[in-house]
Structure 1
């Protein structure tokens, strides 16, 4: 069985080496895919160095899945990717949110106070603390949005 791909860190830009590691694809393959898939356009800076954004890393993983796991040809993967991108655009235009691969947790009746009791233990690491802060911010955003309706 193939090893699972690592989690994508919360960074704004990734070098080609980082993307190679995150997606299990060699850098020369990534450069080739840029020629074959027009949706894949990393920013280029000094010395023609490539900097990929989070959505491009996700797209590369999708391309990799189509080619390596589902057995598409380059042409077939290009067509399938265009279909998927168009489907996502249509859903966005219709006001829907793409949550593919995201488990939805119902918390309609929950409040921030309900989660205050789940405070982190003293030995909690920095990542857990950041996640708790993000959760608090999300509750605040949800409350602001619901107050506007």
Structure 2
């Protein structure tokens, strides 16, 4: 059974350009085999594949994975339902995506504040 958990508890996405599947797994609290499966189910996920078929995800991929995770685990969508939600007409205005971006920005700004306080 899928175990719901709150996306607010996920760590901030570091300011890197590329992330390995292991890093994305930790950032999104999703096992690597689930990420590989979601790549087949959601056309929006297209990690760059380099030598040895290694996957490298970009920041927008991590945000999309968190959105998919929220739809499936928190909001109870099926894979098909989540796919429709992400490709539907209202996908551009999806509250989940906006919420993810806002939480990410808040976390990043809090990190900047901590750095500024230390100096």
- Relative to the length of structure 1, the TM-score reads 0.59
1:56 aligns with 2:56: no
In structure 2, the residue matched to 1:137 is: none
> Structure 1: any 5+ residue segments left out of the alignment?
89-98, 104-119, 125-149
Q: Higher RCO, 1 or 2 (CA under 8 Å, sep at least 6)? A: 2
In structure 2, the residue matched to 1:71 is: 76
The two structures, once aligned, show a CA RMSD in angstroms of 2.4
Q: Distance in 2 between matches of 1:65 and 1:77?
A: 9
How many residues are paired up?
97
**Deviation at residue 38 of structure 1 after TM alignment:** 0.7
Runs of 4+ in 1 over 6 A off after TM superposition: none
Structure holding more helix per residue: 2
- Relative to the length of structure 2, the TM-score reads 0.73
Rg larger for: 1
Q: Distance in 2 between matches of 1:2 and 1:62?
A: 13
> Structure 2: any 5+ residue segments left out of the alignment?
104-115
Q: Distance in 2 between matches of 1:52 and 1:25?
A: 14
1:19 maps to which of 15, 19, 24: 24
In structure 1, the residue matched to 2:110 is: none
